[in-house]
Amino acid sequence: MVTPARFQIRPYRQGDERGVIEAVKAVYDEYGFEWDPAGYHADLYDVPGHYAQGAFLVAESDGGIVGTAALHLFDWLPDDADVVEVGGFRRVGGADCAIERLYVPKAHRRRGIGKALTLGIIRLAREADRRRMEIWSDKRFVEAHLLYRGLGARLVGERLCHDPEQSPEWGFALDL
């Protein structure tokens, strides 16, 4: 296991492309998930274009990318229920932003990287005057769920992801 002594959280910048893809793909490979560069993962090949209205953070250690997280900003979703149907997808009611692409390869976990990335995304969401963050996470990512709950998120529902595997996910709401 690699144990990074130190890491820094910083915004994505030109030149991070390969490291971002490698970090996320390492988690996909660990779980046996399908990699879909032209579809579900296309955002990682154009981070500046896809996250222009939000943010994309990386964790860097020893010159390499050891974690990622993105903030997606969107219009307020109806809040008639904890989970609402919007455009054929189950979404967290009352949300106006989401954390996405939180990935830390196995060799770099349990060092505070995921928490630091999540706190960075929460800070950016608050700075953008957002009220509720939606978090959808594969049901197998138990450590991430503990992190979200520890930060005050509450479980509100479940859905099948629109990824190639149609992975079952838990949905969390985090009031900001």
- Its domain, for residue 37, covers 8-175
In a domain, 1, yes or no: no
In a domain? residue 3: no
Residue 2 covered by a domain: no
Half-sphere exposure of 159 (CA within 13 A, CB side): 20
In a domain, 111, yes or no: yes
Say which CATH number the domain at 167 has. Answer: 3.40.630.30
Model confidence pLDDT, tens digit, residues 123-164: 999 999 999 999 999 999 999 999 999 999 999 999 999 888
Q: For residue 159, what are the β-bridge partners?
A: 169
For 69-101, the pLDDT digits (tens) are: 999 999 999 998 999 999 899 999 999 999 999
pTM strictly above 0.85:
yes
**Domain-located, residue 48:** yes
Q: What is the pLDDT of residues 35-57, one digit of tens each?
A: 999 999 999 999 999 999 899 99
Residue whose pair of structure tokens reads 């969401």 in the numeric block: 125
Q: What's the total number of domains in the chain?
A: 1
